[in-house]
Amino acid sequence: MNKKSVTFMVDVKFFNQSWLIPMILVKVQDILTVNTDILVLSANPSLRAGSGISGMIHKAAGPRLETATKPFAPLTPGQAIITPGFYLSAQYVIHTVCPRYMNGQRGESEQLYNAYASALALHSQAPDAKSIAF
């Protein structure tokens, strides 16, 4: 069985040191075949290859992806880093740690907001990027 994930494609443009989001396209597609400049990965705090989508992305990118993340681990929920995409079609991978939902009373909403905000804030390290997939 080929694993699929829901991929949110967001076309973005770099303008005056900020991101403009002219269009949001939501489509169901294999995350590894998405035509995008930046791929955002919901990472675990250790930034190591996990199971599921994380493991698939690490496997497709090759072992250098995990090697590139090691100096930054561990991350806390809401933090993000950017690495090259290595063998992926995406030039860059943004690794962001999303919170685990417990009861909604432990700051999960703020942590999730911070995860997305941190991922989008890393655009300055990829000025040539025109698209991003979550």
Q: Mean pLDDT in each 10-residue stretch from start to end of the chain (134 residues)?
A: 44 45 69 89 92 91 96 94 96 92 83 90 87 86
Q: Output the pLDDT for position 31.
A: 84
Q: Output the pLDDT for position 11.
A: 43
Q: What is the pTM of this model?
A: 0.80
Q: Output the pLDDT for position 119.
A: 92
The span from the CA of 42 to the CA of 88, in Å, is 16
The span from the CA of 22 to the CA of 31, in Å, is 22
Q: Output the pLDDT for position 23.
A: 61
Q: Output the pLDDT for position 7.
A: 45
Q: Output the pLDDT for position 66.
A: 96
Structure tokens at 38: 């930046």
In the beta sheet, which residues pair with residue 27? 7
